[in-house]
Amino acid sequence: MRKQLKRSYRISKYVVYKETLIDYKEKLWSFLGSFLGIGIIAIIQSFILEDQDNIFLIGSFGASSVLIYGVIQSPLAQPRNLIGGHVVSAVVGVTVAQLVPDLIWITAPLAVSLSILGMQFTKTLHPPGGATALIAVSGSEQIKSMGYLYVVYPVMAGVIILLLVALLVNNMTSQRVYPNDGRFSRTFNWFLNPVRKQSIQIKRGRRLRRLKRSKR
């Protein structure tokens, strides 16, 4: 037992140490991705849906942002998990809200627990999905009155926005690959390579012109 505890301590210590080795540029990309993703949703809420009591800006999107912008190699952060986890959990949450009596001490744990089972069976485990299910049964009356529309909007619509931003930001450098199978990254880089080459050529041309001027 003592050896097992020491081993667990060493592993957790290594994980924490490894996290501190993340390059500062990587942290900047994480900040930029989450800022853009949540920012776009917040702008839509503020300027287009301002009369709807922050329905579009649900809390589970913040938790998803930590995963898909901060730990992009995690299996829990992949697109299948992001979309499937939220959608499965939203369906479960709305179903519980409609079929079970409005007793929060029953609906809240039931919605979260069933959403975990649903994500496990569909292999779409995504921790923020539990919050999506919980919001469906404990949110405002406006959210509860939406019924299964809650699955499409705000859940599906918001998740798609977060995913599109993640696909863009998480593939801007060769160090960041998302999804982790690399297929999208290769296509994205193939599209960007001509632009990058042209940018490099322009920079080289400027350097050559500066060298010629300095020699004169």
Residue whose tokens read 């940018």: 199
**Residue 15, pLDDT score:** 47
Query: What is the separation of C-alpha 122 from the centre of its chain, rounded to a whole number of angstroms?
Result: 19
What does 53-91 look like in DSSP terms, one character per residue? TT-SS-THHHHHHIIIIISTTSGGGSHHHHHHHHHHHHH
**Residue 66, pLDDT score:** 97
Does 6 score more than 70 pLDDT? Answer: no
- N-term to C-term CA, the chain: 76
R_g of the chain, CA atoms, integer Å: 22
The predicted-structure confidence for 148-191, as pLDDT tens digits, reads as follows 999 999 999 999 999 999 999 999 887 888 998 877 666 656 55
The predicted-structure confidence for 45-80, as pLDDT tens digits, reads as follows 988 877 777 788 999 999 999 999 999 999 999 999
Residue whose tokens read 């007793």: 103
* Cβ neighbours for 76, distance < 8 A, ≥ 6 positions apart: 67, 125, 126, 127
The predicted-structure confidence for 23-46, as pLDDT tens digits, reads as follows 778 889 999 999 999 999 999 998
User: How far, in Å, CA of 86 to CA of 206, rounded?
Assistant: 49
* Cβ neighbours for 160, distance < 8 A, ≥ 6 positions apart: 83
Q: Which of 2-6, 17-21, 204-208 has the lowest mean pLDDT?
A: 17-21
The predicted-structure confidence for 100-140, as pLDDT tens digits, reads as follows 988 999 999 999 999 999 999 999 999 999 999 999 999 98
